[in-house]
A and B are shown apart, each in its own frame.
Chain A
Amino acid sequence: MKKVMELALGLITSIGGFLEIGSITTAAQGGAAYTYQLGWSIALGTLCLALLLEMSGRLAAVSKHTIVDAIRERFGLPFSVIPAAVVVLVSFLVMASELGGVSLALKFATGIDIRWWALPVALVAWLLLWKGTFGLVEQGVSLLGLVTLVFLVGAIKLHPDWGAVAHGLVPTLPKKEPTHYWFIAVSILGASISPYLFIFYSSGAIEDKWDSSYLSMNRITAGVGTAFGGALALMVLVGAGAVLAPRGIQVDSVEQVALLLTHVLGRWGFVLVVLSLAIGSFGAVAEIALASAYIVAEELGWNWSEDIAPHDAARFSMVYTVLVVLSSIPILLGLDPLKLTMLSMALTAASLPVAVVPFLLLMNDERYVQEHTNGWFGNSAVTLIVLMSCVLAVVSIPLEIFGG
């Protein structure tokens, strides 16, 4: 019975915690600019994330190591410090954009400029981490995040051409603006496959004391939960394709995303989309701060856990405290959250091989995962998607920035 409850909570967490400003805005941009044509990038990103989450849970359950711990042990500090530093740096940019997402939602509700919200939001996120437990951070916010199901309801009520939506799941070449097309595809992939997600997942499995008996639950949570989460992101793209694209509205600001469901759900459509943005992004701020603290503490061999008092893991608590405060600076300086989001998502995609390749090597090492090593499908799919994301990012980021 306990396992069933844990499974249900795991599924809810995967669904309710999937959407945040990155996945919402990148999917909306894709839908507004190319209708349903970029559905494939959400599908590929979701598949890759599900595989990586399952692997990180399997590694933790079988070896009792987190990813960072195992990479440091297997490859040594001189090597492991590189992926750890890259992931923390990119995650910091993502965290700043998520904090901007919460501040923007509050601006939409109150009319008060986002710069006034940056520090209060950072303070509330820090309080949650300081006072809360791992379960509260992971499941509490995700339960509230079920409000994002509004995108599914909205997409159904919009009566899109489902045949065209299905057709979009097959990759096709763009008919216009190829650079922009690939840049959005890369941003969608980056929003889906953020390394902080599977690092957080593996540390969470250790926090929850998983063992080999959790392998089936891990497979279902990572597979089914992530698939539902990806479906929600696809519904954002469908909504933008059905509402914004026919009107010629490109998503150049988050205000345009807030209008997405007002057409079919009226005032509730507006309120629930703004709530989705606020809750999803707030959950991501807390998770990224925690994931970054996990990385630093595990890399340097410090004491770490969200379930013990901060004074028992002082350096771990200090890391998330400093990061949460620092992440408010870009918003205080007036950087556009959407531009920050798009850039951080694309950089995430570019940095993926650095984070994923050592992890894949571990997943094929019997000293860690015993007889539960990766199969050919997991290895090939993750390697191909990650390399494709990286190559596309390296080519499209400079073109997007300098080419217009």
Chain B
Amino acid sequence: MAEDVRYAPRAMPVSRAPLAAEAGTGLACLANMRRALRHAPLVFAIAIAGCGGSPDVHALAQSAHSWAATADFTADRLAHGAISRRFAVVTFDRVSTELQQLAQSAAQVRDTSAASARDRAELTAQLSVARHAVVALDSAAARDNRAQLAAPQRRVGASEAALDSLASATEKP
């Protein structure tokens, strides 16, 4: 049964053109828009090419520093009883995951980009700081939560291995 439209409050009459005809015109408008939008990817590509889009070693190092500081701050807040141990474990899990991804990205940058030796050294140093911070958070959060921490610890192990490999590769001439 059709709904009663009494509730739709209107002071002026609404256009009563047949819905099918209006929808057909609407589809024609959308088709025109689609044709116009075909050129959009080209515009975006030009904008990206103009401003440069290569991987940024500095951004990776900055991100590593940020996660290290997050780990430090979380460990400090936990020590002061300002956050729950459960939340510290959640944060630790996130930091270790991010660190592992950063190590992988760093390895890609090292292998593929024209990063200078100084950039690579900065990156390695920041990742190393991040690793130490995560280990510190690990020991702070782990006291009563060994079982919960198994998965994040495995990730830290994997990221440490990636970092070690990166560090040794960076040291090569």
Q: Are B44 and A262 in contact (CB under 8 A)?
A: no
Residues of B within 8 A of A314 (CB): 3
> B75 CB to closest chain A CB, in angstroms?
11
Contact of B14 (CB < 8 Å), options: A179, A250, A301, A303: A301
CA distance A399 to B19 in the complex (A): 41
Contact of B8 (CB < 8 Å), options: A63, A108, A304, A395: A304
Residues of B within 8 A of A399 (CB): 47-48, 51, 53
Residues of B within 8 A of A403 (CB): 48, 51-53
Q: Are B69 and A302 in contact (CB under 8 A)?
A: no
Provided the pairs A255-B70, A399-B47, A403-B48 are in contact, do residues A107 and B90 lie with their beta carbons within 8 angstroms? Answer: yes
Q: Are B5 and A302 in contact (CB under 8 A)?
A: yes
Q: Which residue of A lies closest to B81 (CB)?
A: A267
Q: A76 at interface (Cβ–Cβ under 8 A)?
A: yes
CA distance A298 to B7 in the complex (A): 11
B66-98: contact bitstring with A at CB < 8 Å (1 yes, 0 no)? Answer: 110110111001001111101101110010001
Q: Are A78 and B26 in contact (CB under 8 A)?
A: yes
Q: Are A304 and B73 in contact (CB under 8 A)?
A: no
Q: Which residue of A lies closest to B1 (CB)?
A: A314
Residues of B within 8 A of A65 (CB): 10-12
Q: Which residue of B lies closest to A108 (CB)?
A: B87
Residues of A within 8 A of B72 (CB): 247
Q: A54 at interface (Cβ–Cβ under 8 A)?
A: no
Residues of A within 8 A of B69 (CB): 247-249
Residues of B within 8 A of A303 (CB): 3-8
Contact of A267 (CB < 8 Å), options: B48, B83, B148: B83
Q: A115 at interface (Cβ–Cβ under 8 A)?
A: no
Size category, B interface: 35 or more
> Which candidate, A9-17, A156-164, A233-241, A305-313, is the interface stretch facing chain B?
A305-313
Q: Which residue of B lies closest to A267 (CB)?
A: B82
Q: Are A302 and B3 in contact (CB under 8 A)?
A: yes
> A204 CB to closest chain B CB, in angstroms?
13
Q: Are B25 and A72 in contact (CB under 8 A)?
A: no
Provided the pairs A77-B26, A301-B5 are in contact, do residues A398 and B44 lie with their beta carbons within 8 angstroms? Answer: yes
Residues of A within 8 A of B29 (CB): 78-79, 82
Q: Are B14 and A72 in contact (CB under 8 A)?
A: yes
> B150 CB to closest chain A CB, in angstroms?
14
B17-56: contact bitstring with A at CB < 8 Å (1 yes, 0 no)? Answer: 1010011011011100100000000001001100111011
The B122-151 residues at the A interface (CB cut-off 8 A) are 148
Q: B9 at interface (Cβ–Cβ under 8 A)?
A: yes
Provided the pairs A179-B51, A301-B8 are in contact, do residues A108 and B66 lie with their beta carbons within 8 angstroms? Answer: no
CA distance A225 to B35 in the complex (A): 43
CA distance A108 to B55 in the complex (A): 32
Residues of A within 8 A of B44 (CB): 398
The A31-58 residues at the B interface (CB cut-off 8 A) are none
CA distance A79 to B32 in the complex (A): 12
Contact of A73 (CB < 8 Å), options: B15, B23, B55, B83: B15
CA distance A82 to B34 in the complex (A): 12
Q: Which of B23, B83, B84 has the most CB of A within 10 A?
A: B83
CA distance A301 to B2 in the complex (A): 12
Residues of B within 8 A of A69 (CB): 8, 10, 14
Contact of A64 (CB < 8 Å), options: B10, B33, B55, B66: B10
Q: Are B47 and A270 in contact (CB under 8 A)?
A: no
Q: Are B90 and A250 in contact (CB under 8 A)?
A: no
> A18 CB to closest chain B CB, in angstroms?
25
Q: A375 at interface (Cβ–Cβ under 8 A)?
A: no
Q: B110 at interface (Cβ–Cβ under 8 A)?
A: no
Residues of B at the A interface (CB closer than 8 Å) are 3-15, 17, 19, 22-23, 25-26, 28-30, 33, 44, 47-48, 51-53, 55-56, 59, 62-63, 65-67, 69-70, 72-74, 77, 80-84, 86-87, 89-91, 94, 98, 148
Chain A to chain B contacts (Cβ below 8 Å), 9 pairs: A76-B15, A78-B25, A82-B33, A108-B87, A247-B72, A252-B98, A256-B70, A302-B3, A303-B3
Which 7 A-B pairs give the minimum distances between C-beta atoms?
A: A77-B22, A78-B25, A262-B82, A64-B11, A250-B66, A111-B86, A403-B53
Residues of A at the B interface (CB closer than 8 Å) are 63-65, 69, 72-73, 76-79, 81-82, 107-111, 177, 179, 206, 209, 247-250, 252-253, 255-256, 258-259, 262-263, 266-267, 269-270, 298, 300-305, 308, 312-315, 367, 395, 398-399, 402-404
